[in-house]
Structure 1
Amino acid sequence: MSVMVIATIEAEEPHEKTVEKALRDVVTPSRDDDGCEMYVLTRDEDNTSLFLMVERWRDGAALKAHENTTHYKALMNAVKGKLVSIDIQKLDVRM
């Protein structure tokens, strides 16, 4: 069963550009990860500090492997201390 991830990321105002760059940098290598079916970065039109990452993975093992990649770890290090909040929802896709 596939797994959908919806990550809501709010950057601290002085760090918006740094956070945006880190998020953009992870998109292409993540799309190349085994088991990645979708990986989309979006930004709120009204609140430029708010980003949503929408992902779909073949299964939980593929998602876990992604979370152990160099590019994912680099993202997490790059945004550390620069966020107001991060909320990551992992959803089983059963339909």
Structure 2
Amino acid sequence: MSTALTLVATITAIAQHQAAVQTHLRTLVAASREEAACIQYDLHQEQDAPHVFIMIEQWRDAAALAEHKQTAHYQAFTNTCGPLLQGVELKLMTKIA
């Protein structure tokens, strides 16, 4: 069985900061896709709530995800956008079929 991990992150921007958060998320996506252990890193936006973003990530394993959280691009997003966010919900999953 694969050890790949899937993470679904719901990132809710404060409405008036939606455009700035989206810009920073796009930068994060581009850099994260360059990581060797990144299998998938896709950004989505809710149609009825454009300030809500869904990130679907897949990583080789738990260690890869932990390494991702230590990268300069991840830390830059966290430090820059933290005050612009209403909240973040993370769901960690293992693919079973």
TM-score range, shorter chain: over 0.9
Q: Which amino acid is the alignment partner of residue 64 of structure 1?
A: A
The 1-side partners of 2:69 and 2:36 are apart by 12
TM-superposition CA deviations, 1:40-89 (whole Å, max 9, x none): 00001111111000000010011111110000001111211111111011
TM-score normalised to structure 1 length: 0.94
User: In the alignment, which of 11, 17, 20 is matched to residue 18 of structure 1?
Assistant: 20
Q: Which amino acid aligns with 1:16?
A: Q
Percent identity of equivalent pairs: 33
Aligned pair count reads: 95
Q: Gaps spanning 5+ residues in structure 1: where?
A: none
Listed as ranges, the gaps of 5+ residues in structure 2 are none
The secondary structure found in structure 2 opposite 1:81 is: helix
Report SS of the residue matched to 2:47: coil
Q: Give RMSD over aligned pairs.
A: 0.9
Calculate the TM-score normalised by the size of structure 2.
0.93
The secondary structure found in structure 1 opposite 2:26 is helix
